[in-house]
Amino acid sequence: MAPKPKEKLKAAASPSQPPPPIEDLFTSLDRHIQRSEFIQAVKVANQVLSVAPGDEDAIRCKVVALIKADKIEEALSAIQSSQKVSFDFSFYKAYCLYRQNKLDEALEVLEKQDKTQPSMLLESQILYRLGKMDACVDICRNLQKVKIDSLEINLVAGLISAGRASEVQGTLDAIKTKATSSFELAYNIACSLIEGNKLKDAEKLLLTARRIGQETLTEENLADDDIEIELAPIAVQLAYVHQLLGQTQEAAGAYTDIVNRNLADEPSLAVAVNNLIAVKGPKEISDSLRKLDRLKEKDSQKFVLARAIDLKLSPKQKETIYANRVLLLLHANKMDQARELVAVLPEMFPDNVMPLLLQAAVLVRENKVGKAEEMLGQFAERFPEKSKIILLARAQVAAAAGHPQIAADSLAKVPDIQHMPATVATLVALKERAGDINGAAAVLDSAIKWWKTAMTEDDQLSVIMREAASFKLRHGKEEEAAHLYEELVKGNGNIEALVGLITTVAHANVEKAEAYEKQLKPLPGLKGADVDALEKTSGAKPVDGASRAGLAEAQEDGKTKEKPKKKRKRKPRYPKGFDPANPGPPPDPERWLPKRERSSYRPKRKDKRAAQVRGSQGAVVRDKNEPSASATNSNTSNSKSNQATSSKGVSQSAEPSRPQSKSSRKKSRK
């Protein structure tokens, strides 16, 4: 900010060197600020304050210059030392606290101030960082009356982060703004399309945003590396779209290129590393852990995100990175590190349930399933508003551990999904496994009652009634099953229900079953078939066009053939003292083979000492057929040369070839 022109003030002259005129100091101060030489501006501001202590303009210039120079701590000290000044530095103090990520303190300072345009903008930024997106959107809408550059970028980013991506297009129409007015806005709108699962449209808009950004930043004379850093979020988001489209190899290649080049800004690099790990899954765990180590503080022994990354990522993105770190440690069987990390996550994310789920995962991996179930159950009782995902996780853990009753009880405590077919089927299976047949039937009756009174387009009543009738018929409740089948037949005339009704009623009332049987339509191709003759063939398959005479002949042939005698099944005879319930280890399948033919056979080495030559020391015994020394030497040299040549060829051909090596981010340029 340019300082106001100051009148010449009287100041006591130093006996050694007179101070420069204060007008000259302010002129120099203005020149440094205009040139963005903020460190020099701070020095000149200190000179002014040495001549005129308490000068408001000098203090303001000093504070702003320190903030511009990223000297946030010194700026706060300067604000604290200027409490006697009449000027209110609360806005600057709130901004410094915001830069230090002390968001709650910054918001508390702002709430005591008047609602001005700068304070409202800063408040929206703080609320965005805190994850209070609805409040952030409300402030941005209130500021729409004032013409503020790039306000629509923040508004769209807030809507997407608040889970209101469907309102983005209506908001753009209301403020009469095109999606391609800037590459930042195009990027944010592409994020809203991703939320709406319009992936192809999002891909096209991201490519357009990259082209617009390239042209805009080139006109601003930015270097190529700086342009790539500015457009890094678009590159990461494009790779994420490819990942969602199932193009995993292309997405992994893009992520790897971003990580290896290391030209992305800190948040984009963190998202690229996290998504690359998600694409790889449990493969290359050591390499994934090393990549995550690039995101932590260099001086910290524990895994803590670097400050530059921690300040710019949203709470959801940071939570995802820590969760993936824990999962990788579990896959790598590094239980000590996983236990240490999950212990600090509840303090970092106190309002989220993910730390509790990760603690349960660690307990399950340590074979402490009972403790995990108890911990999840206690949390669900203390915080019923957050209990849905906790109860679902408890049901999954209990079902996998063979505790069907605990799993069914947990699933039954989630009221808003009790009528869904998948939930009904799971509850019935769990209660049936636990032996609670009446409880399973009650679940089916409750679901039928709900769907009878529900006013929804997705009617699942017929499906649940058909399954309920089949369940009750299977467990001996024929009357209830027949009643359900009868309702289905009267309701929509379902053929499967009619067949089930006939089968069910035939056990108790044959006449009623025959009456319903008449409602079945005759099958084509059975008009010329004699049912009585078919019943007498004892299961013979009818042939198209076969006459009754042919059927009679087949019947006579069947009578003449003698039935084969059934072999009597004998109980197996076991050796004395053998228990078939605990047979022990199986016998060796090679026990009847000779030892030399078994896979474990290893021939004994021949004793080389048996061929030692007997005689006096230094004597040489030669056979009659042994060749001369010269011939032996020549043959030996030839064999050595051949051996050297062949060994060299083997070493060259046997050399192995060298192996070759989330979460989406909705960025708002604020």
DSSP code string of 25-72:
HHHHHHHHHHTT-HHHHHHHHHHHHHHSTT-HHHHHHHHHHHHHTT-H
Using alpha carbons, select from 108, 31, 84, 29 the residue that is nearest to residue 62: 29
Alpha carbons 211 and 200: distance in angstroms, whole number: 17
Q: What is the dihedral of CA 47, 51, 52, 54, to 10 degrees?
A: 50
- Mean pLDDT, to the nearest integer, of 605-631? 51
Report how far Cα 488 is from the mean position of its chain's Cα atoms.
43
Q: Mean pLDDT across the stretch 155-161?
A: 88
Residue carrying structure tokens 């803590």 = 304
Q: How far is CA 300 from CA 37, 70, 304, 307, 600, in A?
A: 34, 23, 7, 12, 53
Give the mean pLDDT of the chain. Answer: 80
Token digits of residue 349: 């994310």
CA–CA dist 430, 411 (Å, integer): 10
DSSP notation for 230-276: HTHHHHHHHHHHHHHTT-HHHHHHHHHHHHHHT-S-HHHHHHHHHHH
- High-pLDDT (> 90) share of the chain, %: 32
Is 154 in contact with 139 (CB distance < 8 Å)?
Answer: no
Lowest mean pLDDT among 37-46, 48-57, 287-296, 516-525: 516-525
Higher pLDDT, 650 or 417: 417
C-alpha separations of 65 from 26, 72, 221 in Å: 14, 10, 25
Q: Which residues contact 523 (CB under 8 A, 6 or more apart)?
A: none
Specify the pLDDT at position 668.
Answer: 41
Secondary structure class of 317 (helix, strand, coil): helix
Mean pLDDT on 262-275: 90
> 239, exposed or middle or buried, with CB in 10 Å at 0-12, 13-18, 19+?
buried
Q: Is the pLDDT of residue 626 over 50?
A: no
In this predicted structure, the answer to whether residue 635 has a pLDDT above a threshold of 60 is: no
DSSP string spanning 357-376? HHHHHHHHHTT-HHHHHHHH
> Nearest 5°: CA angle at 149, between 137 and 203?
70
Q: What residues does 305 pair with on adjacent strands?
A: 296
Instruction: With cut-offs at 50, 70 and 90, classify the pLDDT of residue 631.
Output: very low
> 10 Å Cβ neighbour count for 5?
10
Q: Which long-range contacts (CB under 8 A, 24 or more apart) does 134-138 make?
A: 134/162, 136/161, 136/162, 137/162, 137/164
Highest mean pLDDT among 30-44, 362-376, 468-482, 627-641: 362-376
When pLDDT is cut at 50, 70 and 90, the band that residue 282 belongs to is: confident
Q: How many CA atoms lie within 13 A of 541 on its CB side?
A: 2
Q: Mean pLDDT, to the nearest integer, of 304-312?
A: 87
Calpha distance 292→273 (Å, rounded): 7
Residue 666 has what pLDDT?
Answer: 41
> Mean pLDDT lowest for which of 156-165, 196-205, 527-536, 634-643?
634-643
Mean pLDDT over 529-550 rounds to: 60
Q: How far apart are the first and last CA of the chain?
A: 20
Question: What's residue 606's pLDDT?
Answer: 67
Q: What is the pLDDT of residues 445-471, one digit of tens each?
A: 898 888 888 767 677 888 888 888 888
Percent of the chain with pLDDT over 70: 76
Contacts 24+ apart (CB under 8 A), 98-102: 98/122, 98/125, 98/126, 98/129, 99/67, 99/72, 100/72, 100/73, 101/129, 101/310, 101/311
Residue 215 token pair:
């042209």
Question: pLDDT at position 637, please?
Answer: 40
Name the residue with tokens 């040549």.
Answer: 645
| pLDDT of amino acid 527 | 61
pLDDT of residue 639: 39
Which DSSP letter does residue 3 get? P
Please report the pLDDT score of residue 404 as a whole number: 93
pLDDT: is 620 or 422 the higher one? 422
Please report the DSSP string for 588-650 in residue order. PTTTTS-GGGSTT--PPPP-GGGGPPPSSTT-----TTPPPHHHHHHHHHHHHHHHHHHHHHH
Average pLDDT of span 133-156: 83
Rounded CA gap, 634 and 180, in Å? 87
pLDDT at 312: 85
Please say whether the dihedral angle defined by the alpha carbons of residues 620, 625, 630 and 636, taken in this order, is positive or negative: negative
Give the contacts of 409 (CB within 8 A, at least 6 positions apart): none
Among the residue ranges 47-61, 427-441, 515-529, 567-581, the one predicted with the least confidence is 515-529
pLDDT band at 529 (very low <50, low <70, confident <90, very high): low
CA gap 241, 203 in Å, rounded: 7
pLDDT at residue 360 is higher than 80: yes
Is the pTM of the predicted complex or chain greater than 0.85? no
Between CA 542 and CA 539 the distance in angstroms is: 9
The answer to whether residue 523 scores a pLDDT higher than 80 is: no
- Where does the pLDDT of residue 669 fall: very low under 50, low under 70, confident under 90, or very high at 90 and above? very low
Alpha carbon dihedral 565, 569, 575, 580, in 10-degree steps, equals 160
Tokens 């044959």 identify what position?
510
Provide mean pLDDT across the span 176-184: 88
What's the one-letter identity of residue 446? Answer: S
Q: Is 403 helix (H, G, I), strand (E, B) or coil?
A: coil
| Plot region of 490 (φ>0 → left; ψ -120 to 50 → alpha; else → beta) | alpha
